[in-house]
Amino acid sequence: MDLEVTSGTIATLREEAARAHPREACGLLLGQGARIELARPCANVHSRPERHFEIDPAALIAAHKAAREGGPQVLGYYHSHPNGRAGPSAEDRAEAAGDGRIWAIVANGGVSWWRDGANGFEALPLRLVQG
């Protein structure tokens, strides 16, 4: 099954990457099943945000709490590579949990989609939907 992503989500990812430059933007990918309906920007609390990202733990906890109360599910995460490519970096691979979550990586105006699986990152096919 292809991953479905709304056009509004793609626009948010690009806007947030541009806004954060030269730091890495980061946030949460929210939705249901295989459909990402929202990218929620979060503070990058890493001590070196120009080359790394760390999603604000309070934002992550709040999103999981909202999901338990009937809100959209946390399907994954996004971040940008201000001076890199739209693919998992060595740092991304080292930090990955192998938990099956979806990662979106934004670079040079492009967005790539990955599943963080037990055997590393796997590129995901994408179906763009209006929204």
pLDDT at 26: 99
pLDDT at 1: 64
How far apart are alpha carbons 33 and 14 in whole angstroms?
Answer: 23
Mean pLDDT (10-residue bins), the chain, 131 residues: 92 98 98 97 98 97 98 98 93 94 96 95 94 80
- Side-chain-side CA neighbours of residue 41 (13 Å): 15
**Domain around 56:** 3-129
CATH code of the domain in which 55 resides: 3.40.140.10
Q: What would you measure as the largest C-alpha separation in the chain, in angstroms?
A: 38
Distance of alpha carbon 52 from the chain centroid? 13
The domain tally of the chain equals 1
pLDDT at 56: 98
pLDDT at 131: 80
